[in-house]
Amino acid sequence: MNKVLFFILTYLISITAVFSAQEVQISTFEKFPPFVYRNSQGELTGIYIEIVKLALSRMPDYSVTFKETPWARAKMEAEKGKTFAILAPYFHAHDWRTKDEPKRPYLWPYSLSLFTQSDVLICNKEISLTSRTNFPEDFQGLNFVIWRGDGRAGTQFDEMVKNKRINLLLANGTQNVITNLFKKLADCAVTSQAAYAWHMNRMKESGKYHVYDDAGLTLNKSIIISTNNAFLGYSDINDETNYPFKKDFTIKFDIEIYKMKQNGEINKIAKRIINN
C-alpha cells in the first residue's frame, strides 16, 4: 500500500511540475541553415535551435516555443514587447533602438554568446588572391554575389557597390550564392563559413558538387573578413509586466550556456549539424 501511495505521489508531483513550467516564446529566422531550418522529417533544428533546446532541457521551470518568422518581423515583435526573445541576433544595443523618445535599446540583456560566426570570402579559382589581402579595397572591379538582404560584407563594401567600384549580384540563399560562383556568374562571394560548409556538404552528398568538380570548376576559400557572436536577445519592452520571470530565466540560461561552452557541447552540436 505504501508503495502504491509513493508512486501516486511521485506521479502527481511530476505532473504538477510539467504543468507549472513557464512557457516562453522565442522568435527566430524562417530558414537559415545550418543555424535554423527544418530537417527531412519536418522538425525544426539547427545549431541555434539545438543549443537553446539543450539548455532549456536542463531548466525544468521553463518550456520553449519557437516561432519562425521573417527577421524584420522578429525585430518588430521584440521592439513592441510581443515576443520574449529573438534568436540569434548579433550585439545591437548601440543601433537597434526604439523609435520613440527616449530612444533606447529594445533588446536587453543579451545572453552569453551562443556561437561565433565567421564570415569568409569565397572566390573562383581563376581569381588570384596572392596580392588581394585587404577586403574590400583589393577587390575593386570584380563581380560579387551575396545573399539578398545580407549585410555581412560591411558598409565599406556597400559604399564601393554604390560607387560602382564593385559589381553586385543578389541571390536568394547561400545555395544560390554557391551555384552562381560555380557557374561563373560572379567572381567572389561573402558568406557565413558554417553556412558555406553545410551547403557544400549537402551538394557533395547529393552529387551536385561532382558536376562542377568534373568540369574543373572549383572554388577557393579565402580570408575570414569578420567574426560575430550570436546571442539570445531579450525584449526589454514592457518586460516587467509581460515577462516577470525574465531575470530568473536569463540567469539560469546563462549558467547552462556557460557549462555547455566549458564542456565542449556547443562545439559538438555545431560539428554534428554541419557535417551530417
User: Is-contact 53 257, C-beta < 8 A?
Assistant: no
How many of the other CB atoms lie within 10 Å of CB of 46?
Answer: 26
pLDDT value for 215: 56
How far is residue 93 from each of residues 76, 232, 235, 264, measured CA to CA in Å? 15, 13, 11, 28
pLDDT value for 240: 94
Domain locations along the chain: 23-114+231-275, 119-227
CATH architecture of 119-227: 3-Layer(aba) Sandwich (3.40)
Calpha distance 229→220 (Å, rounded): 25
pLDDT value for 10: 46
pLDDT value for 208: 79
Beta strand pairing status for 37-38 and 107-110?
unpaired
pLDDT value for 148: 86
DSSP code per residue over 144-210: EEEETT--TT-HHHHHHHHTTSSEEEEESSHHHHHHHHHTTS-SEEEEEHHHHHHHHHHHHHHTHHH
Burial of 79: CB neighbours in 10 Å, binned 0-12, 13-18, 19+ = buried
CATH topology of 23-114+231-275 equal to that of 119-227?
Answer: yes
Beta strand pairing status for 115-124 and 44-45?
unpaired
Residues shown for the chain: 276
pLDDT value for 133: 85
pLDDT value for 16: 42
Q: What angle do CA 94, 238, 104 make, to 5 degrees?
A: 20
**CA-based R_g, the chain, Å:** 22
Beta strand pairing status for 107-110 and 232-235?
antiparallel
Beta strand pairing status for 85-87 and 22-28?
parallel
Mapping DSSP to helix (H, G, I), strand (E, B) and coil, where does residue 119 land? strand
Please list the pLDDT of the chain residue by residue as tens digits (276 residues). 455 444 444 443 444 444 589 999 999 998 899 999 999 899 999 999 999 999 999 999 999 999 999 999 999 999 999 999 999 999 999 999 999 888 999 999 999 999 999 999 999 888 888 888 899 999 999 999 999 888 889 999 999 999 999 999 999 989 999 999 989 999 999 999 999 999 999 988 888 777 776 555 678 776 889 999 999 999 999 999 999 999 999 999 999 999 999 999 999 999 999 987
pLDDT value for 156: 95
pLDDT value for 214: 59
**Could you tell me the pTM of the whole model?**
0.86
Q: The domain 23-114+231-275 belongs to what CATH superfamily?
A: Periplasmic binding protein-like II (3.40.190.10)
**Closest C-alpha among 97, 91, 56, 94 to residue 78:** 97
**Closest C-alpha among 96, 58, 116 to residue 266:** 116
